[in-house]
Chains A and B, each alone.
Chain A
Amino acid sequence: MNSLIVLPILLPLLVGAACVVAWRYVAAQRILTLAGSIVYLAVSVVLLERVASEGIQAVQKGDWIAPFGITLVADMFSAAMVATTGVVTLVIVVYSLGSMDRPREAWGYYPLFNILIMGVSGAFLTGDIFNLFVWFEVLLISSFVLLALGGERAQLEGAIKYVTLNLVASAFFLAAVGILYAMAGSLNMADLSQRLGSAADPGLVTTLAVLFLVAFGIKGAIFPLFFWLPASYHTPPVAVSAIFGGLLTKVGVYALIRVFTLLFLNNVDYTHTIILWVGAITMVTGVLGAVAQYEFRRLLSFHIVSQIGYMVMGLGFFTPLAMAGTVFFIVHNIFVKTNLFLVSGVSHRIHGTYDLKKLGGLYRAHPWVGMLFLLSALSLAGVPPLSGFFGKLVLVKAGLGIEQFVVVAAALGVSLLTLFSMTKIWAEAFWKPLPEGTETHAPGAGMGPMLGGIVTLAVLAVVMGVAAGPLFVLAQQAGEQLTNPAPYIEAVLRVRGGS
């Protein structure tokens, strides 16, 4: 039964490998990837249900007991992230069927996509700090190739910045893991949690914590380390932008949350205060960056940074309520942010540009595309009763509960500016009459699957709002687990065997 935890990693690997085998047969790759992502979604939902009903699941790879072998763990946070990945993956695969160009499909898009998902799942499920590094490597190489695939000039320029800065992060991460291992003598995170708690030199643990903060801070794109993100995310095909913007960046945040709720708890006053303020500054600079943009996808990219700040702020509050809110917010944000990128692809399909100044008239010509955009955009801005509002509500309540008034004020101001920049997209691309000189194409075939994906995520933005009550119960479980590592440690260190 515990093989369930391995499946989200193994399944994309197998599908990816099969796609390589079927290199010349794009149709076969499409079917394989689609089928694979459907199964993945089913598996991830079953896993989520299992964790919700039976508690934290863990399995030892190769039957080597913890902490010596590699552990895979699914607590509520991990399971929620994997399930979210399942939804987003399926949506993007469907969207890709309609939107991805033939050359990229023929030159490895599907294998790379599957391996990326494998890396994401691995990062969410691993209970081993070095194994986490390995998954980051998988993510980095597959995302780099996906980013550069096609070799357009803008792509390459973005990809260079992306890979350079992320390699720096990997180097810091690896160095930090090595030093950590030398001092604490273990790599299993549950084991490390105990070992670091009783370390003889807590000051050194704090120093290491800061290194991890920088490494994951770069990966997760926090201030002032986020440069690679707005430099690259707007360059590849939109389906790739969407999975990067929606999902990939959150892996860095996931890692940050994981280590700062499990490993580095000996000087919370220092580390989590830094995290809190970094989060606050990140969300402000991110949203200001967005306000300054007139390119659809660049604007969205800066918003990613801003919302990363929201998530990091939740980690900085570090109460059960705040962590629950953070988890809820991350899941919501993945859906909504992915969808906004997907909508930008539709406007690009119709008018051949991402430039908001050249776009226009979409609302009159395609009112339902407008409505779909609105659901996601307003949700992103935290307008009730959509999903984003509840994430914001919980985080603001958590902040007020511990009287962090300045940070809360910043968070509220950011949400206003988010609304402001979303209305900018709305007013420019949808409301404003189409400027003269902008070409208009017939949407053509492929629009069906594209809209199918968008509708799904838009509906989810509504459902997460309307069903906020029951969903938040799950988030609360995650929040409890993240603020009390004992059950996690117990689940990992007591397991014997598995797949």
Chain B
Amino acid sequence: MIYAVLSGFVLALLAPALYRLSARWSGVVFSVFPAILALYFLSHMEAVVGGEAVRVAWPWMPAMGLELSFNLDGLGLLFALAITVVGTLIITYAGSYLHGHPSLPRFYLFILMFMASMLGVVLSDNLIALFIFWELTSVTSYFLIGFEHDKDTARAAALQALLVTGTGGLALMAGVLLMGQIGGSFEISALAADNAALQGHRLYPLVLALVLAGAFTKSAQVPFHFWLPSAMEAPTPVSAYLHSATMVKAGVYLLARLSPVLGGSDIWLYVVTGFGAATMLASAYQALYQTDLKKILAYSTVSVLGTLTMLIGLGDKLAIKAAMVFLMAHVLYKAALFLVAGSIDHETGTRDIRNLGGLRKTMPIICAGAAVGALSMAGLPPFFGFVGKEALYEAVTHGNLPVTVIAVLTSMLLFAVAWLAGIRPFSGAETHTPKHAHDPPWTMWLGPVFLGCLSVLFGFMPVLPEKLLSAAASSVLAKEVHMHLALWHGFNALLVLSLVTFALGVLVYWQLETIKRVTAFALPAVHRGPSHWYALWLRFLNWSAVGQTRVLQNGYLRLYLATIMTVTAVLAWYTFLTYGDVTVVAMDWGDIGVHEWVVGLVALVGAIATVRAQTFLRAVMALGVVGYSVALIFVLYGAPDLAMTQFLIETLSLILFVFVFYYMPPFKRFSRRVVIVRHAVIGTAVGAFFTLLVLVATSVQWHPTISTYFSENSYLMGQGRNIVNVILVDFRGFDTLGEITVLAVAGIGVYSLIRLRLGKGRGS
């Protein structure tokens, strides 16, 4: 099974090279791979529905509890089949849809990588591995949504999807790590087996919030749903695959997978059900207002995702059963409808339903596929969508009244939406379209027709998928359940509810314009709101980024220096005053001789004169005074070598400075008085601190110094009478090596900087 997941990544990397072998039939060639995977997963059907889970594990990063452990149970199998079967159809379709596109080779790269990641998500038992695949689906979808990257809108939509799902992803990451930390394992199976520690922990609400943030953003729950309709910028095969059948269901998958671990609590019930219910109704309502075929489908997808979330939130046996049936029905009809929309767009040149009509004559095969999809979506018998809706009604009527009302209203709206998207473009009179419509090649009608056939087949014979769906529900409920699906349940309350829904749906479709006009007041809140916040947030982000950078990185060296000095002064003084001890300073002021006072005062005067000087020359002279005074101090304290060096350096630099500065004009005072005072305060604070610390240092000696060793051994072992020399060339000769290097580099630097002047005035 590891190979089943990972081979997709390998194939993805090879895809651009393989593409060259057969550009014409690349779609068909690449679709062989998911087809084989689908057969592989089907071959495990027997074992899985029999209750056996297939499990394999490879260590990846044991120290972090990260393993590539894959677990194929009912839920995993259901998703794996959806991914691979739909994947086969999509890749076949895309080969023709994108035929001749310059980036087609890399389309295969990203779509195959996406498919492999998606399989990784639904098969991983290890939470960190699951998260890794989860992030990969976000990233690959970024490249797939932005596939037509010459368009600004495509780039913006790709970014939006990435940021929204990425934010959720990071929350999920924290949630996953906390779950592992509290529960003691990163294996979902282990956590599910013993969820008491997790659910009883004080951090449980935080963990739940983080995980739900991940799931809700991925599965486009209100108020994070806005990225999904924007993502319709993607080429249609991508929308059909990512945004209906697979990726957006990853969030639902995660909720289902983790419901044995995190579910069952009151917060879970209210939050998950609440978000789901709000999403299903709000998005179905928004779908009515769309005129772009793909956007209609996108909003209806969001609505279904809400329904699934709501059902998982309810979490009882009926609800989970309904979720699984509904999910399968949705995969079958929604992928088909997306592919139909793509074919219409491809063959007519438009996706606007106001410009489409009468296509039943020119595109009969597509029309058939669309009709089946739409009727299944509308929940009409004998299609599988009806079975799904019946299951939904059964679940909510056992739940509570508000949810039932929302479910009926949503189904009513989706009925109308299904008509808009799947029936209307084909009915009525023919319209004039940019391109003359005709049926696409077989590669592009295979998908809708195949999926349509399954919708009919499963509708008439729901017993076929029954075992798989039971196994999936068993995984979610963590106990074995068996469901019995039938098209005809007899004449009961559920059927009445369905009939009412149909009647209302017809009414909505018939009076669509009136209803849109009457309820338009609610649109801004659900429709423009969240995406508006997103835009605002982006603006705020850029604004604050530019603002803070302008303040911090302002370009003025003096402000940088002032900041650094202020930080040093504040931090050092605070630390010293909090933890230090001034009383350790043992100074005997009477011990200081007159000549020492004089030297000290001269140095001080020199320093003050330096900062107050009006010309470069005076400043340099005053600085020289400071330097000589320091050298004198060396003389007074018995360091003649040091003093000699210092005198030489002072003299040399003074001469050099004089040469350089002779031609310089006097200083100009640009600083205002307050700035000068501020700088004086900062400088004094830093200077005073170091003075104090040096005073402390002269009074404190915690341990015997190593210099005793030097004085004892310099003659005996170093063969030199001058300790300083021996230290420099022997004890610490390595330092000297470094310092010599510094001098050499300085020499090279001066030479090269003077001689090499590239591109004068060519600054950036």
Contacts and interface: CB of A to CB of B under 8 A. Distances in A.
B149 A432 contact: yes
A330 to B, nearest CB: 17
Given A227-B563, A419-B162, A214 B572 contact: yes
Contact of A423 (B128, B162, B178, B572): B162
Interface string B54-72: 0000011111101000000
B734 A61 contact: yes
Contacts of B549: 288-289, 292-293, 302
Contact of A292 (B59, B546, B561, B698): B546
A394 B762 CA distance: 45
Contact of B764 (A234, A396, A408): A234
Interface string B689-711: 01001101110111111110110
B705 A152 contact: no
B649 interface: no
Contact of A367 (B61, B106, B557, B730): B106
Interface stretch (A46-54, A89-97, A377-385): A377-385
Interface in A42-99: 61-62, 64, 67-70
Contacts of A363: 149
Nearest to B175: A400
Contacts of B696: 179, 183, 204
Given A168-B561, A213-B571, A431-B149, A142 B757 contact: no
Given A134-B735, A182-B698, A292-B546, A111 B762 contact: no
A265 interface: no
Interface residues of A, number: 128
A203 B581 contact: yes
Interface in B674-700: 690, 693-694, 696-698, 700
Contacts of A203: 576, 578-581
Contacts of A142: 745
Nearest to B686: A172
Contacts of B139: 378, 383
A383 B138 CA distance: 10
A198 B704 CA distance: 13
B549 to A, nearest CB: 4
Task: Kindly name the residue among B565, B701, B734, B744 whose own CB sees the greatest number of chain A CB atoms within 10 A.
Answer: B734
B745 A103 contact: no
A432 B171 CA distance: 30
Interface string A179-209: 1011111111001000100111111101101
A165 B568 CA distance: 13
A427 B159 contact: yes
Given A151-B753, A408-B174, A206 B710 contact: no
B568 to A, nearest CB: 5
Contact of A469 (B60, B166, B171, B732): B60
Contact of B553 (A13, A112, A137, A230): A230
A396 B176 CA distance: 11
A119 B744 CA distance: 13
Interface stretch (B192-200, B319-327, B511-519, B537-545): B537-545
B700 A195 contact: no
A55 B278 CA distance: 60
A161 interface: yes
A149 B561 contact: no
A149 B700 contact: no
Contacts of A290: 545
B561 A423 contact: no
Interface stretch (B21-29, B129-137, B243-251): B129-137
B748 A69 contact: no
A457 B106 CA distance: 22
B702 A183 contact: yes
B132 A389 contact: yes
Nearest to A213: B571
B586 interface: no
Given A152-B762, A393-B64, A285 B552 contact: yes
A201 B584 contact: yes
Task: Kindly name the residue among A69, A224, A292 whose own CB sees the greatest number of chain B CB atoms within 10 A.
Answer: A292
Interface in A139-194: 141-142, 144-145, 148-154, 157, 160-161, 164-165, 168, 172, 175, 178-179, 181-188, 191
Given A134-B735, A179-B694, A472-B63, A227 B131 contact: no
A494 interface: no
A199 B576 contact: no
B738 interface: yes
Nearest to B131: A384
A151 B756 contact: yes
B734 A224 contact: no
Given A108-B752, A288-B544, A62 B155 contact: no
A161 B560 contact: yes
A151 B557 CA distance: 19
Given A134-B735, A144-B749, A292-B545, A384 B132 contact: yes
B645 interface: no
B146 A431 contact: yes
A195 B742 CA distance: 31
A20 B555 contact: no
Which secondary structure characterizes the binding site on chain A?
Answer: helix
B738 A393 contact: no
Contacts of B741: 13, 115, 118, 138
Contacts of A289: 545, 548-549, 552-553
A231 interface: yes
A185 B704 CA distance: 6
Given A115-B745, A195-B703, A292-B549, A207 B575 contact: yes
A198 B150 CA distance: 66
A397 B749 contact: no
B480 interface: no
A354 interface: yes
A122 B737 CA distance: 11
Contacts of B402: none
Contacts of A172: 568
A112 B748 CA distance: 8
A135 interface: yes
A415 interface: yes
B701 A164 contact: no
B590 interface: no
B490 interface: no
Contact of B732 (A70, A104, A211): A70
Contacts of A195: 702-703
Interface string A103-134: 11001100110010011001000000011001
B542 A235 contact: no
Nearest to A195: B703
B710 A68 contact: yes
B199 to A, nearest CB: 18
Given A214-B568, A476-B63, A206 B753 contact: no
Contacts of A228: 560
A401 interface: yes
Contacts of A206: 575, 579-580
A206 B548 CA distance: 31
Interface in A17-31: 20
Contacts of A137: 738-739, 742
B103 interface: yes
Given A67-B706, A151-B758, A202-B579, A138 B742 contact: yes
Nearest to B750: A145
Contacts of A104: 756, 758
A218 interface: yes
B746 A153 contact: no
A433 interface: yes
15 contacts: A131-B734, A141-B742, A149-B749, A149-B752, A150-B759, A165-B561, A165-B564, A195-B703, A204-B579, A207-B575, A227-B552, A227-B553, A235-B764, A267-B579, A472-B61
Given A62-B734, A289-B553, A384-B132, 4 more contacts: A178-B697, A182-B698, A225-B563, A292-B550
Which A-B residue pairs are the 3 nearest by beta carbons?
A185-B705, A203-B579, A145-B749
